[in-house]
Chains A and B, each alone.
Chain A
Amino acid sequence: GQNIDQPTEMTATEGAIVQINCTYQTSGFNGLFWYQQHAGEAPTFLSYNVLDGLEEKGRFSSFLSRSKGYSYLLLKELQMKDSASYLCAVMDSNYQLIWGAGTKLIIKP
């Protein structure tokens, strides 16, 4: 079956760095997405990786290793507004998105 694994919850301190991991087993691979979802709101797009390596976008970076079925989202200089759930999703060979359950990130002052 297809599976996306990410930690349920993480806690970090304001100003620090946090890495949220995502491992996947899917039928084919056509890219990996990260979305941010604040409580009670809709998910919003953060990043897309289809090739191995690191994609940097401001304070957020996303890494992909296709051979290991692994990705991480790196958040630097954490701010209180970064408290949210972070959703990992993989596009399979049928171009359908398979979603992880999300990682709830709690930022403490």
Chain B
Amino acid sequence: EAGVAQSPRYKIIEKRQSVAFWCNPISGHATLYWYQQILGQGPKLLIQFQNNGVVDDSQLPKDRFSAERLKGVDSTLKIQPAKLEDSAVYLCASSLVWGDSGANVLTFGAGSRLTVL
């Protein structure tokens, strides 16, 4: 089974520039998540999709971050304009469905490391 694919793996930009990250989840996984992980901290949920609908985007800084999952498969996370504090690893994860089941394991991608100068 292919894993969660993310690109690019690394990106360095200057503040106020824009950047986009791409995620292709495991085939058949309905739920897709974007997490922000700042160095030394646990991942923080930015947005959760169920198919192509948004389930939770309460912690997404909507003035600069946007995400879409148009066909219910792959997803794009965009930051525009970037700030210094956006330097982090952006993790994409997917699971079969969301529900009260211990079998719903999240599979994470390797992440996209963003450095904002």
Partners in one complex: no
Instruction: Give chain A's interface residues, CB within 8 Å of chain B.
Output: none
